[in-house]
A and B are shown apart, each in its own frame.
Chain A
Amino acid sequence: MSYIKRFFYIVFLFILILLLNYSASAEQLTVDEIINRVKENQIEYENSRTQAEMVIIDKNGKTEEREIIMYQKEEDDKISILMRFLSPKNVEGVTLLSLDNGDKIQLFMPAYQRTRRISGTTKKDNFMGTDFSYEDLGMDYQNDDYLKKLLEETETQFIIEVIPMDEDINYSKFLLYINKEQFYLDKVEFFDLEGTFTKMLEIKEVKIDEEGKNTPTKIEITNIIDNHKTILNIKDIEYDLQLAGDFFSIRTMQKPKL
């Protein structure tokens, strides 16, 4: 779930970032206008809960399935995420808390009955064998620390380059592929600090409601270097839950039921 949500965030944030600053025209649309269109097509919410199935596939085609539940909220441009593995048994109950866009990360493992702080600088490490890094889970692409440029416009997509200005981010740039018809993110390509294309996130399935709002329901992230893949199949999303003020805390992490 967390991954799914994070993917959503990444997608939305990328789109927003692109839209925020770029002024070149694209079919008479500026970056800001593209972003506004993307925003208009997104569901607005204060917090959400996502349940999803995660499928991890190695280069030999061997698969591992996991179920997750993820809570997320955004406040003052800070994203908070609380994610728990529901299955399989070897990771059941493992809970991750990411605060301040990933600057504070805590991990709770039931077997050890205590939380472990994870260094902010380990954010580039993959989380629990998936293709998501801690950084991916907590990154806020909506802030202004990114340069955006419309690289290309095809028949179906806007292709936008996003360059992070924050030195703490372990990527040199992102390429965003935005669906021109529905204004949602089709794909994101990640480039490491050496400029190597290392990771790709694809929105494989999108649900569009009656108001034209879109929700990705199947997200795939591929580690290009290792030929390793993680797929998120979103089963359920709820918005604007009545969560306690301190829900995103180490206190909640230790509760046997979220």
Chain B
Amino acid sequence: MSKEKLLNFSKVVLFTLSFLTIISRAALSFESSQKLFYQGSYSLQQQKINNTVTLKIDYMQEITNDLFFQGDLILRTSNKEYSKPFLIGPNEFYLSAYDVLENLDLKIGQIITRWGAADFFSPLDNFNPAPPELSLTGNQGKIGALGINATYYINSQTYLQAVLLPRLETSPYPDEYLEDSYLTQFKPLYQKQGIDIDAVELSYLPTKNMIWGVQLNHTFPTFDVGLSYYRGYYMDPFPANLDVAFKPTGNIMEVTLSYPARQVLGLEFQGDFPGIEGATLRGDLAYIIPEVWMFQGEKMLEKPYLQTIISADYTTDSNLYLNGGFIYGLPFERGTQCSPYLYLNAKKEITNSDFSPSYTAILSLKDMSMGNAIGIDYQISKNVLATLSYVFISGDVNSKLGILKPSQGFYFSLEWLF
């Protein structure tokens, strides 16, 4: 049996054992719920159909009235480019303890901590990475990170939260993707110097310090406000060094990657929108202080910069949900790259119908490039939901949102909760 087949066989055995373990535990003492999720897409650029099937099992064990064990298990198979064909493992598993000391609650384990009031693209949400893709068709999930989250309730209106992660959980960019990206970017430059690059090898410099943050939240009569400080790293890899090694097997471009440090001072708020009855205002403002980062003589990060998202959501009398706002700096923008955007998310709940049409758009105010997603949800039954979306991008391929053109196409998902 080849090594690859043996590996696949081991994964199947592991999958089966884990699945049976969870199911049997659930039957014995755990409370569990499952979600089977199919995502299909047709890329207009690649003219290729991608399929991903995910089984997510959530479980919860009540140990005492104030102590719980919670977690999940994810089993996924996909034929997407750069995706692992098969993935199994937990995204979260942790103990949550309430009143450990008076008014002190703890979460310990592989956890997800979400900061920021904005619905998405929050510059304050920095403890857990998201999958490395910008989605116009749904909320992005987060990847669990090992750590501790402690919340101390000073009173019923005010609490202080502290989060500590012993190591950085990074965005899971596949090496193959990064290798292809660097090869595409640098191979022509070396060719001009008469050097043919045959392959790319990646190495990573580890981060040195723990990641931590504190947040103070207070509820006012019409507003909730939070002030926060985060000290950690960027979760996407930055190039730190690049060399070419001339080996008998060929010329290897050796790229060293790392994660620059950063501090984030944050302000978040949500509450009544002054002057607009029925609207809720949400906002996140981040002042980001990066580590100075040089690559090939160019400063990729230097001065502190701002990122913000301010949005409002409102439901009309005809059950049309509107969520729109202003963004300064998308997640993939840093420093001077940050630019302004407007976005709108609209969803119509049709009375006495199982269909819900939706529209999402992001417009770059810098170059007027635009991303659009038109979709419709169909509630097949109370536990089964189907969604069909069409994503199209306007603008030059090198424009702010034109770079998302490879994502143009049709998206279909089917979600079954049981």
Contact = CB atoms under 8 A, between A and B. Distances in A.
Interface stretch (B237-245, B276-284, B400-408): B276-284
Contacts of B315: 122, 125
A124 interface: yes
A120 B112 contact: no
B156 A246 contact: yes
B60 interface: yes
A226 B112 contact: no
B383 A117 contact: no
Contact of B352 (A59, A90, A92, A246): A59
A117 B417 contact: no
Contacts, number: 85
A122 B156 contact: no
Interface stretch (B168-176, B267-275, B291-299): B267-275
Contact of B270 (A62, A116, A122): A116
B351 A119 contact: no
B383 A113 contact: no
B382 interface: yes
Interface string A76-94: 0000000000001110100
B417 A119 contact: no
Contacts of B385: 90
B114 A117 contact: no
Interface residues of A, number: 35
Given A103-B221, A117-B280, A119-B278, A257 B68 contact: yes
A72 B68 CA distance: 25
30 contacts: A59-B351, A59-B352, A88-B382, A88-B383, A88-B417, A89-B33, A89-B417, A89-B418, A90-B385, A92-B33, A104-B219, A104-B221, A113-B112, A117-B223, A117-B270, A121-B272, A121-B279, A122-B278, A126-B319, A226-B352, A228-B352, A246-B103, A246-B153, A249-B153, A249-B156, A251-B98, A251-B153, A255-B98, A256-B70, A256-B96
A124 B349 CA distance: 16
A238 interface: no
Nearest to B111: A113
Interface of B: 33, 60, 62, 65, 68, 70, 96, 98, 103, 105, 112, 114, 117, 139, 151, 153, 156, 159, 219, 221-224, 270-273, 277-281, 314-315, 319, 349, 351-352, 382-383, 385, 417-418
Interface of A: 58-60, 62, 64, 88-90, 92, 103-104, 112-114, 116-122, 124-126, 129, 226-228, 246, 249-251, 255-257
Contacts of B351: 58-59, 226, 228
A118 B273 CA distance: 10
A90 B382 contact: yes
A227 B351 CA distance: 10
Nearest to B219: A104
Nearest to A247: B156
A59 B223 CA distance: 38
A125 B114 CA distance: 27
Nearest to B60: A256
B271 A117 contact: yes
A60 B417 contact: no
Contacts of B278: 119, 121-122, 124-125
Contacts of B33: 89, 92
A92 B153 CA distance: 26
B112 A90 contact: no
B327 to A, nearest CB: 19
B16 to A, nearest CB: 24
Nearest to B383: A89
Shortest Cβ-Cβ A-B pairs, 6 listed: A89-B417, A119-B280, A58-B352, A121-B277, A117-B270, A121-B278
A108 to B, nearest CB: 12
Contacts of B273: 119
Given A90-B383, A90-B417, A256-B62, 4 more contacts: A59-B352, A114-B114, A117-B270, A122-B280
A226 B279 CA distance: 24
